[in-house]
């Protein structure tokens, strides 16, 4: 049978880009189906309405809701459509996906992340497992991401520096705000290792892309220069240039049809005018971001897959991961420092702070408990969004603040000092009560059941989050910061999501084999973050890129066999 394409890739973000890039470069014909619009550098501006206050880059929740299921105080679960709540699980539905809007805080996983059970033993109430591959299997691909996608940084010695095949990053660190030096000083005084945070941002022009322009508006915003290493800027544009890749934007895949042999036979999708189309390929790659990937499989039953594609062992959607951790902030008040230092702190936050601490990636602290996984502390500028910052001031200790009191509060926040934010990343411990299923009642505008996301969490997330955030807070205090706060919360950060289609050696407990090919569907690969059985204590994107390059090599081998 002749197929329309060698490979059909559903989704175009960080999980899709490396597969598309690799296959197109090797001469295979690739079709990319992306549900969102095709925007480029010239379309991306620093508009808080588009990125954050309205749904400029994500679907209308009335037409495409999710359902979130939360635990009741008295036990049991209650559900609510995201159209009726402040939740939003969409993270950027345009060509290149949410990688267009990432901050690009890039950390690799460490060898210990692949061997958590072997290293620390079981955690009660959790589904922690070792990975079926090791750090050494993924290292060459982390290295490839640095060079092909573009990661800037500087390797320094610290207790948890992971092994590297390249001595240093291919691009020097992005420009740094003077606050970075003050963090280094404070850490040195405390005997802590501050490290330059690697960024998926080009610090110099290369590969047809410009350098960062240091506008101060990075995370949540699309990049107007191409410096941010989005799947679109770094990979899809190069794949298109080969002539072997076709991208269809505004194409919502509604079902993967499968045949009597259990293999995918065609993809059904609707275009912007709601016309239905079908396309077939030799191999299908799903990379819709974890929740939507599981949903698409569950919405695709077939003769051999009555419970949804690749779901005969009821594993699809299970062990969904977010990022555990905590957060905090502190203010460097100009008046608390001499004029020279105050002027430096006041410098426009276009250049980055870019500092991380990984001294507690494994926590070996008797007061905390047995030796166990900790995580990463990142120090960053407070998000610059003026509406978001000012809106936080309307609530005081005794209710609403308004009038001159509110105006003074807002003015003080904007003018009296500069804030540093702590973002602490720890493992989102996989549990039975964090999973994706189909909601029986809520449907999208095409009549397909919406994903229902149960967001139960393990208490370990909170414990490690508090621990790490308070360590970050200590560093801020050492710097002379005021109003220092740190905290952790159980609610998941909806922009950091993985899992749901674990890879593993046993089909009874995993959806994918170690090559990220579905155990039950020979022509299906999943190349987004869904494969991760545990998340590690860093943002996911670098690992998703790296694994997708690894999967691309497996697909090349598959096609060549």
Binders of another protein among 10-69, rule CB under 8 A?
36-37, 39, 43, 45-57, 60-61
399 binds another protein (CB under 8 A): yes
Say if CB 504 and CB 392 are below 8 A apart. no
Tell which positions 321-350 bind another protein, by CB under 8 A: 323, 325, 327, 348
**Residue 78 beta carbon to another protein: minimum distance, rounded to whole angstroms:** 12
Which residue, 415 or 561, is less far from another protein as judged by CB?
415
Which residue, 225 or 300, is less far from another protein as judged by CB?
225
Which residue, 39 or 556, is less far from another protein as judged by CB?
39
Which residue, 85 or 265, is less far from another protein as judged by CB?
85
3-state DSSP assignment of residue 251: coil
Say if CB 228 and CB 201 are below 8 A apart. yes
CA distances (Å), origin 45, targets 254, 278, 297, 317:
31, 35, 35, 35
Say if CB 485 and CB 516 are below 8 A apart. no
Say if CB 471 and CB 328 are below 8 A apart. no
Sheet of 77-81, strands arranged across: 77-81, 67-71, 449-455, 434-443
What length does the chain have? 561
388 binds another protein (CB under 8 A): yes
**Residue 470 beta carbon to another protein: minimum distance, rounded to whole angstroms:** 14
Nearest to 323 by CA among 372, 280, 378: 378
**Residue 216 beta carbon to another protein: minimum distance, rounded to whole angstroms:** 6
Which residue, 56 or 111, is less far from another protein as judged by CB?
56
Among the listed residues 334, 337, 368, 487, the single contact to another protein using CB under 8 A: 487
> In sequence order, what are the residues at sequence separation of 6 or more whose Cβ sits closer than 8 angstroms to the Cβ of residue 446?
252, 254, 270, 274
Among the listed residues 130, 493, 515, 556, the single contact to another protein using CB under 8 A: 493
Say if CB 500 and CB 287 are below 8 A apart. no
Tell which positions 69-88 bind another protein, by CB under 8 A: 80, 82-88
Other Cβ atoms within 10 Å of 306 Cβ, number: 9
Nearest to 467 by CA among 537, 532, 540: 537
Residue 56 has phi, psi (to 5 degrees) of -70, -35
Among the listed residues 338, 339, 400, 561, the single contact to another protein using CB under 8 A: 400
**Residue 258 beta carbon to another protein: minimum distance, rounded to whole angstroms:** 32
Tell which positions 148-177 bind another protein, by CB under 8 A: none
Tell which positions 233-262 bind another protein, by CB under 8 A: 250
DSSP assignment of 441-482: EEE-TTSPEEEEEEE---HHHHHHHHHHHHHHHHHHHHTT-E
Among the listed residues 243, 391, 483, 508, the single contact to another protein using CB under 8 A: 391
What Rg, from alpha-carbon coordinates, does the chain have? 23
**Contact string (CB under 8 A) for another protein, positions 97-136, x = contact:** ----------------------------------------
**Residue 94 beta carbon to another protein: minimum distance, rounded to whole angstroms:** 9
Tell which positions 347-366 bind another protein, by CB under 8 A: 348
**Contact string (CB under 8 A) for another protein, positions 214-233, x = contact:** -xxx-xxx--x---------
Tell which positions 407-446 bind another protein, by CB under 8 A: 407, 410-411, 414-415, 421, 423
Which residue, 170 or 178, is less far from another protein as judged by CB?
178
- Cα end-to-end distance, the chain, whole Å: 17
DSSP assignment of 134-159: -HHHHHHHHHHIIIIII-B------T
Angle separating helix axes 339-346 and 179-190, nearest 10 degrees: 110
3-state DSSP assignment of residue 8: strand
**Residue 513 beta carbon to another protein: minimum distance, rounded to whole angstroms:** 33
Which residue, 95 or 310, is less far from another protein as judged by CB?
95
**Residue 323 beta carbon to another protein: minimum distance, rounded to whole angstroms:** 8
Which residue, 23 or 380, is less far from another protein as judged by CB?
380
Which residue, 46 or 158, is less far from another protein as judged by CB?
46
Residue 418 has phi, psi (to 5 degrees) of -120, 140
Which residue, 286 or 323, is less far from another protein as judged by CB?
323
382 binds another protein (CB under 8 A): yes
Among the listed residues 115, 168, 371, 402, the single contact to another protein using CB under 8 A: 402
Other Cβ atoms within 10 Å of 48 Cβ, number: 18
Tell which positions 508-527 bind another protein, by CB under 8 A: none
């Amino acid at each position: 049978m002749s197929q329309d394409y060698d490979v059909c890739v559903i989704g175009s973000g960080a999980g899709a880009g490396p597969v598309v890039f690799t296959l197109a470069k090797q001469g295979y014909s690739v079709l990319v189906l992306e549900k969102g619009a095709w925007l480029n550098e010239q379309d991306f501006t620093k508009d808080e309405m588009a990125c954050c206050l309205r749904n400029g880059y994500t679907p209308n929740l009335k037409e495409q809701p999710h359902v979130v299921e939360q635990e009741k105080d008295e036990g049991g679960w209650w559900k609510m459509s995201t159209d009726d709540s402040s939740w939003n699980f969409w993270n950027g539905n345009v060509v290149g996906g949410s990688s267009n809007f990432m901050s690009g805080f890039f950390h690799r996983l460490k060898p210990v992340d692949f061997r958590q059970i072997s290293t620390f033993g079981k955690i009660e109430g959790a589904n922690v497992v070792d990975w079926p591959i090791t750090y050494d299997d993924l290292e060459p691909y982390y290295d490839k991401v640095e060079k092909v996608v573009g990661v800037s940084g500087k390797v320094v010695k610290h207790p948890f520096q992971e092994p590297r095949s390249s001595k240093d990053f291919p691009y020097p660190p992005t420009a740094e705000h003077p606050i970075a030096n003050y963090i280094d000083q404070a850490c040195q005084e405390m005997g802590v290792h501050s490290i330059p945070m690697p960024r998926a941002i080009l610090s110099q022009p290369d590969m047809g892309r410009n350098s960062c322009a240091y506008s101060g508006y990075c995370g949540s915003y699309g990049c107007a220069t191409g410096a941010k290493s989005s799947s679109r800027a770094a990979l899809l544009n190069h794949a298109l240039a080969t002539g072997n890749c076709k991208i269809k934007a505004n194409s919502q895949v509604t079902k993967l049809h499968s045949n009597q042999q259990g293999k995918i036979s065609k993809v059904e999708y609707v275009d912007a005018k709601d016309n239905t189309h079908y396309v077939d390929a030799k191999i299908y790659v799903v990379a819709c971001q974890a929740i939507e990937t599981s949903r698409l499989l569950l919405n695709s039953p077939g003769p051999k897959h009555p419970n949804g594609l690749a779901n005969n062992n009821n594993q699809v959607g299970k062990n969904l991961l977010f990022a555990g951790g905590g957060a905090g902030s502190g203010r460097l008040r100009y008046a608390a420092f001499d004029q020279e230092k105050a002027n430096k702190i006041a410098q426009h936050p276009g250049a980055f702070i870019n500092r991380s601490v990984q001294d507690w990636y494994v926590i070996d602290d008797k007061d905390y408990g047995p030796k166990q996984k900790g995580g990463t502390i990142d120090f960053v500028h407070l998000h610059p969004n003026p509406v978001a910052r000012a809106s936080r001031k309307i609530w005081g200790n005794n209710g609403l603040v308004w009038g001159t009191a509110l105006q003074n509060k807002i003015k003080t926040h904007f003018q009296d000092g500069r804030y540093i934010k702590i973002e602490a990343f720890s493992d989102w411990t996989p549990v039975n009560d964090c999973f994706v299923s189909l909601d029986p009642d809520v449907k999208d505008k095409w009549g397909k059941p919406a994903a229902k996301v149960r967001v139960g969490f393990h208490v370990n997330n909170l414990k490690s989050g508090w621990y790490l955030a308070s360590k970050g807070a200590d560093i801020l205090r050492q710097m002379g910061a005021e109003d220092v706060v740190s905290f952790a919360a159980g609610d998941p950060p909806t922009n950091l999501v993985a899992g749901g289609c674990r890879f593993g050696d046993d089909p009874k407990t995993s959806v994918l084999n170690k090559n990220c090919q579905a155990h039950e569907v020979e022509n299906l690969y999943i190349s987004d973050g869904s494969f991760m059985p545990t998340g590690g204590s860093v943002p996911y994107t670098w690992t998703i890129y790296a694994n997708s390059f690894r999967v691309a090599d497996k697909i090349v081998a598959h096609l060549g066999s």
